Structure 1
């Protein structure tokens, strides 16, 4: 038995019934995650960010620990990209290459529940991380603290943006 896409649209393009605000919110999730991911990669590359030597030593674990910050950045961006599945056809139909599931519609709750939990987790993460960053007693120059704050402050928006796109996905898909 084969299943068709719920609505026309190429895999790389937003669904035609997705409003512009939802497309912008999904794109904003990627943009609010980028500064902190780039900041961590810059730390690994040794870019002067206003951190004192002791802070670099504390963040960069020797050996395989050097991969920790880039892998964290990669994981963060991959999770942010999943938000696009809530506005694209590939978030509504399992990829054909998957055995048994391929070509079938994704159950609404299979996308909504993880996305809603992710929105909640990102909201808590964003608020706690930003609060910790603003109140951290790091050995950093004033301009380094400014850069750190500017890179991590946008993460506060990740949870609410994901939540808004998730609610829209649920309303749109539940009426199909």
Structure 2
């Protein structure tokens, strides 16, 4: 049982950490939440044994997502009427070592997305989940997610080009 937990921890720690950090924008909070997530996983290690190998990562990310939602609900930091499920990302800061206008434009384009769009980008490109895995987490069809991600990338591209002063022919 402990070997199973260690394997899961080693394989998925980085993805869980990036997901939570991207949602909170705070390393201290992220450290606490990731510890809580893996405590929950350890307590439910019996569930892992019943999952097919391709279901482990989506299950773990669902636990991560729900833990972040619970954090925002406890803090009551989300505005009335906003869904804490997609709240977060309000303090997104990308950690770049050099000052580059492209990085600023990328960060601004991420901030211009809706919370749902940022979550999809986080799960796909920060955590590296497959569309099928994301679908299990957010309850959407894989084809819908692919189409949505394509539109989001296009939206970000337009925003980044505008920010960089690139004229868009078309």
TM-score, structure 2 normalization: 0.27
Q: Of the two, which has the highest radius of gyration?
A: 1
- RCO higher in structure (CA 8 A, sep ≥6): 1
Identify, as 1 or 2, the structure richer in helix: 2
